[in-house]
């Protein structure tokens, strides 16, 4: 594969390697000590090698890749060869390219498949596709024997969406199974056990995720994110993100639209309510009755709307999974199943019940007690602040802000504790794991979020304090969600890019010390790859000059065709299993 060129308008850092004289009339900056030995007289120009985040963000699309599988930087060649050989033998439909990240020293498999292979995969998966009008219309499960009846089957670019391609590849990867007695280092597989989920649970595979398409993201940005007072493009969202994500945003839009009715009715009712207590009581009763009627109509309307969308997207009559696979994290003793007569892991139920009674239940009750005591402490602090004369008006809100922070921090801490407890309870099926995790988290979140409101409203019966606390909690939680969704990922990305730039400068300095020449900055050109340790998943593109091919000797160890291999990297792109150079 030819090396990716730099983006248009981008300036290569290699062109800056030559010495540049200082401006006239300005003395040269003195260099001293060890820094002078490392960087020579170009110490003041070292800053240009600390590539800014804008330089790292200059990206080129990732070609011929639907799913990316990454490995830790400590992964040895034996693990990569073992997994690559099993994918080649077990899933011959896939095309895998092995690439290496220069700065993070991580490895990755770039996975894709041909159009003909995807058609066979759609048949295996039972993917529902639209049928031509002359054959009855609607949708039905894809069949290779009757492929001529489906719309756009003649077009490789239009028949499968990116989400469908990635779903087929994920289906193949999740169903790559081990044979009896197979092992990788200290990981022993059961017969027919899925390999990829087990290696991901053990940390041998760092992550497996789909790659975005920047072209479609830009289109959704204009028609969805930046569009104001327009209907959501639910069909485009479904085609790109899948039915589950599209159904969530369909419900969110439907719920937001339905909230207009109680908002308008409540505003009108509040406007015409008089100041006497009787009028207020009547208004509360009327508004409560309206909410009961509105909520009933809302649920019934959403059932109809949800069924309509499910039928349209082909999931209304989709069969459920007959047999649920055990969780990769499930551990136990090996035994022969009395039902299937196959080897399996077994964990005695009495051990789980004992852990729940002696550890999980006491810890959950202790957390709820701590929340209650912290709430009482904040209320006592509130009374102390109110008793002090001469404090500014804003000071009375400080205990409420402190309570809002305690609610947010305790919710995060308890969520981690609930996950740990669930892991220790060691559930065999994912459905059971999620059910018990939801029970733990929802119980605590309900008490943590609403205990203070119930205490003030029904025990203290102080409506003014209730209004103030409700305002503070709503604003603080909204602000926290915004910070967590926008600022924290942005700061993490900038920090990763800064570390990547510093690491590139350090590697350049080491290379200069070894070679005795001028230091070089981060190189552009060559294979494309995700900058900052693959932190650019959300952008769906790869930074220039990061991923490179493996040496030709390494390619030969794969047992693949190495036509076109040079002394630096393998370029056998025409083969099914190629290591790009």
CA proximity to 433, closest of 448, 420, 414: 420
Contacts of 239 (CB under 8 A, 6+ apart): 161, 163
Furthest-apart CA pair in the chain: how many Å?
90
How many angstroms separate the Cα of 59 from the Cα of each of 6, 170, 215, 225? 9, 26, 13, 22
What the block records as the tokens of 248 is 């969530």
CA–CA separation, 379 vs 398, rounded Å? 11
- For residue 381, being part of any structural domain is answered with yes
224-276 pLDDT tens trace: 988 888 899 999 999 899 888 999 999 999 999 999 999 999 999 989 888 88
Minimum mean pLDDT among 30-34, 176-180, 553-557: which range? Answer: 553-557
Q: Is residue 99 classed as helix, strand or coil in its secondary structure?
A: strand
- Provide the number of structural domains found in the chain: 3
- For residue 578, being part of any structural domain is answered with no
pLDDT surpasses 70 at 9: no
- Residues β-bridged to residue 95: 112
CA–CA separation, 385 vs 395, rounded Å? 7
Q: Is residue 212 classed as helix, strand or coil in its secondary structure?
A: coil
Whether residue 86 contacts residue 96, with contact meaning beta carbons closer than 8 Å, is answered with no
Interhelix angle 234-241/243-258, rounded to 10 degrees, is: 150
Q: Which residue has the tokens 């804003």?
A: 394
Together in a domain, 409 and 420: yes
Together in a domain, 141 and 202: yes
75-85 pLDDT tens trace: 899 999 999 99
Mean pLDDT along residues 106-120: 92
Percentage of the chain exceeding pLDDT 90: 29
Together in a domain, 143 and 232: no
- Identify the domain boundary among 162, 187, 211: 211
Q: Which residue has the tokens 């794991």?
A: 433
Together in a domain, 201 and 233: no
Q: Is residue 150 classed as helix, strand or coil in its secondary structure?
A: strand
Burial label, 225 (beta-carbon count in 10 A; 0-12, 13-18, 19+): exposed
∠ CA(570), CA(573), CA(578), 5° rounding? 65
- For residue 493, being part of any structural domain is answered with no
- For residue 58, being part of any structural domain is answered with no
Together in a domain, 83 and 122: yes
Q: Is residue 174 classed as helix, strand or coil in its secondary structure?
A: helix
What the block records as the tokens of 198 is 């087990």
- For residue 225, being part of any structural domain is answered with yes
Whether residue 518 contacts residue 508, with contact meaning beta carbons closer than 8 Å, is answered with no
- For residue 49, being part of any structural domain is answered with no
304-361 pLDDT tens trace: 999 999 988 877 765 554 467 788 788 888 888 888 788 788 899 999 999 999 999 9
CA–CA separation, 249 vs 251, rounded Å? 5
23-68 pLDDT tens trace: 444 444 444 454 454 444 444 444 444 455 555 555 555 678 899 9
pTM metric for this prediction: 0.66
Q: How far apart are the first and last CA of the chain?
A: 6
- For residue 262, being part of any structural domain is answered with yes
Whether residue 568 contacts residue 554, with contact meaning beta carbons closer than 8 Å, is answered with no
How many C-beta atoms surround the C-beta of residue 430 within 10 A?
A: 15
- Identify the domain boundary among 466, 491, 521: 466
Provide the mean pLDDT of the chain: 77
pLDDT surpasses 80 at 109: yes
User: What is the span of the domain harbouring residue 392?
Assistant: 323-466
- For residue 79, being part of any structural domain is answered with yes
How many C-beta atoms surround the C-beta of residue 524 within 10 A?
A: 22
Contacts of 324 (CB under 8 A, 6+ apart): 429, 430, 431
How many angstroms separate the Cα of 161 from the Cα of each of 40, 55, 123, 167, 323? 54, 31, 15, 10, 28
CA–CA separation, 517 vs 505, rounded Å? 14
């Amino acid at each position: 594969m030819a090396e990716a060129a730099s983006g248009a308008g981008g300036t290569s850092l290699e062109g800056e390697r030559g010495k540049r004289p200082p401006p006239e009339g300005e003395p040269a900056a003195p260099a001293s000590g060890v820094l002078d030995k490392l960087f020579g007289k170009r110490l003041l120009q070292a800053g240009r090698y600390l590539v800014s985040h804008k330089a790292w963000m200059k990206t080129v699309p990732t070609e011929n890749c639907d799913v990316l599988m990454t490995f830790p930087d400590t992964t040895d060649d034996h693990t990569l060869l073992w997994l690559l050989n099993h994918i080649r033998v077990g899933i011959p439909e896939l095309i895998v390219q092995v690439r290496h990240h220069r700065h993070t020293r991580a490895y990755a498999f770039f996975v894709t498949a041909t159009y003909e292979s995807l058609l066979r995969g759609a048949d295996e998966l039972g993917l529902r596709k639209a049928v031509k009008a002359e054959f009855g219309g609607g949708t039905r499960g894809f069949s290779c024997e009757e492929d001529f009846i489906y719309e756009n089957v003649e077009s490789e670019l239009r028949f499968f969406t990116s989400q469908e391609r990635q779903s087929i590849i994920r289906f193949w990867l999740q169903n790559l199974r081990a044979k009896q007695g197979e092992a990788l280092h200290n990981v022993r597989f059961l017969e027919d056990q899925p390999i990829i989920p087990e290696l991901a649970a053990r940390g041998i595979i760092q992550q497996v995720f789909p790659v975005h398409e920047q072209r479609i993201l830009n289109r959704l940005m204009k028609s969805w994110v930046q569009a104001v007072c327009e209907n959501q493009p639910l069909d485009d969202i479904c085609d790109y993100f899948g039915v589950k994500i599209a159904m969530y945003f369909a419900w969110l839009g439907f719920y937001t639209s339905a909230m207009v009715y109680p908002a308008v009715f409540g505003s009108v009712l509040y406007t015409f309510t008089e100041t006497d207590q009787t009028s207020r009581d009547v208004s509360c009763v009327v508004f409560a009755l309206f909410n009961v009627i509105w909520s009933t109509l809302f649920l019934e309307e959403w059932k109809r709307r949800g069924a309509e969308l499910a039928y349209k997207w082909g999931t209304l009559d989709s069969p459920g999974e007959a047999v649920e696979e055990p969780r990769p994290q499930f551990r136990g003793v090996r035994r022969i199943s009395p039902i299937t007569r196959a080897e399996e892991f077994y964990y005695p139920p009495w051990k789980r019940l004992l852990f729940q009674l002696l550890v999980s239940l006491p810890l959950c009750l202790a957390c709820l007690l701590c929340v209650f005591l912290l709430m009482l402490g904040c209320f006592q602090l509130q009374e102390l602040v109110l008793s002090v004369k001469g404090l500014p008006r804003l000071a009375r809100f400080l205990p409420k802000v402190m309570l809002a922070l305690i609610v947010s921090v305790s919710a995060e801490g308890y969520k981690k504790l609930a996950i740990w407890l669930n892991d220790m309870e060691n559930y065999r099926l994912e459905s059971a794991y999620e059910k018990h995790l939801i029970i733990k988290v929802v119980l605590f979140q309900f008490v943590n979020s609403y205990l203070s409101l119930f205490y003030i409203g029904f025990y203290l019966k102080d409506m003014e304090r209730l209004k103030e606390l409700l305002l503070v909690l709503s604003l603080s939680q909204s602000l926290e969600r915004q910070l967590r969704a926008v600022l924290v990922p942005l700061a993490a990305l900038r920090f990763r890019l800064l570390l990547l730039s510093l690491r590139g400068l350090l590697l350049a300095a080491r290379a200069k010390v070894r070679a005795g020449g001028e230091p070089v900055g981060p190189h552009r050109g060559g294979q494309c790859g995700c900058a900052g340790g693959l932190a650019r998943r959300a952008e769906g593109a790869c930074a220039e000059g990061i991923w490179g091919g493996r040496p030709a000797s390494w390619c030969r160890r794969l047992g693949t065709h190495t036509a076109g291999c040079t002394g630096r990297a393998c370029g056998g792109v025409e083969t099914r299993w190629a290591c790009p150079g």
